[in-house]
Amino acid sequence: MLYTIVMMVCMTAAPQTCEQREEMADGLAMNPGVAFMQAQPLVAHWLETHPGYVVQRWRVLPGRGS
């Protein structure tokens, strides 16, 4: 199932500088609770590939897409 991971990310050097980022995730479980658990490694990977940012909060929304 297609989901959108919505993250509020802030710069580590300027914690007051935050923005919302959206990443598409396909193939997660239809059950929202299971999909949330499956998305955790995707959020961790995003952090690894975007040094200088911290994720303040995130959520998984089903059926979103641009």
**DSSP per residue over the chain, as a string?**
--EEEEEEEEESSSTT-EEEEEEEE-S--SSHHHHHHHHHHHHHHHHHHSTTEEEEEEEEEET---
pLDDT at 65 over 80: no
pLDDT at 64 over 80: no
CB-based contact 22:4 (threshold 8 Å): yes
pLDDT for 62 equals 82
d(CA 63, CA 28): 11
pLDDT at 6 over 80: yes
